[in-house]
Amino acid sequence: MTPYFGCKHWISIAFVVSLVLMLVSTAAAAGEENGFDLDPARSPIHVNQDAALLQDPSGALDLEDVQSEGYARQFRLHGDVRAPGFSYTDAAVWVRLQPQPDAVVESPWVLEVGYPLLTQVTLYYPQIEGTYARRDLGSGIPFDEREIAHRNIAFNLPMDWDVGRPLFLRVRSDTALVFPLSLWESRDFLRYAQTDYAFLGVYYGIIALMALHAVLIWYHIRRREYLYYAAFIGIAGLFFFSVNGLAFQYLWPGAVHWSQVSVNVFLFAAICLGVLCVRRTLPVYRDAPWLDRAMSVIGFTTAILVAAAMLLPVSIMMRVAIPVVFLTALAVLLTTATMFRKGSRSARYQFLGWCIFGVGVALMAGRSMGWVGDAFVTLYGAQLGLGIKALLFLAGMADQMRIITHEKEQAERRSRRLELQRQKLAYVDTLNTMFAEVSVAETPEEVADKFLDQLSRLVPFDRARFFAEEAGALRAIARRGDLEGEPDAGVPGDVPLEAMAGEKVRIVGAAASGDLLSGYPLGAEVASVMVVPVRHRHTRFGAVVAERDEPATFGETERRLAEGFALQGSVALENSRMFQEVRMQAITDALTGLYNRRYLFKKGDAYFVEGGFLSLLIMDLDDFKGINDALGHVEGDRILRVVAGRCARVLRKGELACRYGGEEFAFLLPGADEQVASKVAERLRRVVCDHPVVLGDSEVHVTASFGVAFRTEGMESFRELFEHADRALRSSKEEGKNQVTSWSSRF
């Protein structure tokens, strides 16, 4: 029986205390305004209990109305040290603050309204000449218009205001209508602000480090729970950052609408991520399917509410948030408690963390509703609860990981060697995949075309060129707009190369005096120009020049977008350049610079499939082994390079020179019949034998034998054509060397 009577006893005490508080509050409200003192020694002066309040349900009253005798008598003294609060209401509230009759202003004062989310707070303060001056602040007004750059709403009170008449405040809010009122001597307010911002800076720095820590853990162990939790901590931190007024001050000071809706957006997003974290970190689906379904419904609903918060009025979404937060808290606590009872070790950490966080949120909500007064625990309890909850989550996950590691330790030890082999194979497979992608990379011209196409979607322009750097100069390799089809051109106007291929994006409008782009030919058609350098590490590719017909249309946003896109585009260009280098190395003979045997057969097979005339010449330098034996292989290599260069210059565009091997060369002549091929072979022979190779002070005479073959009907492959040319070459060798032999004429 004792617990039962104990419960009744406490209920009776709570009822009596509530009744006494109501009587005291009513008596205070019925009292008269005694006014407040302006003694700097008492700063800060919390004037909540000195505030006289008048609700304006229609929001239509103005200062003249509330000063009239009829409305002046309707003001009621708040009489409570707690902040005046009216929950969620569409009404406006007028506040009258009357200094004491003998109050003297000896120094500047600051009136602080300690709730940053109030939509509009209008201050009317009396002036000596008898009128009232007006100032408007709040979350519904751009932050830059504030005279004091502070997260809370703060008004400077001039020293010459008429203290014999009252101050008036008109307060309206789309969120909870609560407004703690404090008067600060200006120097005290500055010291308070420094301490407040220092504490919040340390707190949000710790929150950011916790989120980063969770991301790093996810990066190393690839468990998505940590990534979800990092997102939850980050979004919850942004929610408190917005509630504290810091987001409005530092992140989006001019985005009035977003500063108001972002609170609800971050709130619902944090709820959605929090529910997801609980479902992912605890075996809810296995051990409590009905709870898992309930949590899924909450998560899905809050995800929809995130989008709704961006579209619907803030006041409506605030009213929706109250039951959603309550139901979510109930579901999360029930889920974590159930999992703890079913033996989940990490659930106990989560249950404790959510309890602490819930208490902090309840205290914050109580302050927002005006139910509890301002204190450190009510101001910062929710933020501290979030930090403690994050630590407990990490502790729970660490405990869970320790158990999992212990259970799998033996299996991991046995499979370590196999895993290492698997990782090696996976690494090789990754390299092969990357090589395959690089092997099909496009030319720089094609990459430049795509670069301009994609850039136009981010930064619209009327025309653009992609200038590639070649031998210290820039040449247009891709164009868009009405520039397509124009001949290759260099840099427009008198513009230095440094401006086109520097390190920063440059923008010029109608006037650009003193800038590197001052020589750009602006006129009636070109009014704005943006130059985007494209470089990868230390490799400079060139620049994109985008033009618009309207002046001053490229701004900071376009600059940032272009810089980020250029960074990605430079990687594509670097890949293309590297692919071309690798491709040329794969098909080029390193000694002579001619194509190699592999490329010869690849192109030969391709031409053979296409059909048409096709001839092949094979050249062998006569007695070259004797030259190597007499002069050495180094000089022999020099002779090969000279001969290869001479022969390559004889060929026409489209004809192919290859080094087949050793001192043997092959020449592929698409479109040439046997007669033309024989003439080309004779020209090549004369180029080789009629011009000795100069090696220092001596000359070396070199001769060459040629075999010529022409594609005929019935020939089935390029290899058959090659065999015919090779037999013709052997015939030239047998007949005395230094001559041209055609397959058809000899065989």
Could you list the active site residues? 663
**Burial degree of 503 (CB within 10 A; 0-12, 13-18, 19+):** exposed
Please give the Cα distance from 113 to 167 (Å, whole number). 14
Token pair 């004091």 is found at: 148
Residue 368, CA distances (Å) to 43, 87, 267, 378, 402 in order: 24, 8, 15, 9, 41
Under DSSP, the state recorded for 160 is T
For the chain, give percent helix, strand, coil, nearest 5.
Answer: 55, 20, 30
The count of C-alpha atoms lying within 13 angstroms of the C-alpha of 643, restricted to the half-sphere facing its C-beta, is 31
Please give the Cα distance from 259 to 243 (Å, whole number). 10
Three-state SS at 157:
strand
The count of C-alpha atoms lying within 13 angstroms of the C-alpha of 528, restricted to the half-sphere facing its C-beta, is 15
**Contact (CB, 8 A) for 445 and 478:** yes
Give the closest residue to 351 by CA, choosing from 323, 388, 309, 312: 388
Please give the Cα distance from 334 to 350 (Å, whole number). 11
374 CA to centre of own chain: 39
Instruction: Show Cβ contacts of residue 125 under 8 Å, excluding neighbours closer than 6 positions.
Output: 132, 133, 135, 155, 157, 158, 161, 167, 168
**Contact (CB, 8 A) for 284 and 278:** yes
Please give the Cα distance from 516 to 513 (Å, whole number). 8
Under DSSP, the state recorded for 35 is -
* 669's tokens: 């002549």
Bridge partner list, 664: 620, 661
Please give the Cα distance from 1 to 638 (Å, whole number). 112
Helix (H) or strand (E) holding 319: helix 314-341
User: What is the bridge-based pairing of β-strands 664-670 and 528-536?
Assistant: unpaired
Under DSSP, the state recorded for 553 is -
Under DSSP, the state recorded for 161 is B
334-355: burial string, b at 16+ Cβ within 10 Å, e else: ebbbbbbeeebebbbbbbbbbb
**Burial degree of 89 (CB within 10 A; 0-12, 13-18, 19+):** middle
* 338's tokens: 């159930």
Give the closest residue to 109 by CA, choosing from 155, 59, 153, 73: 155
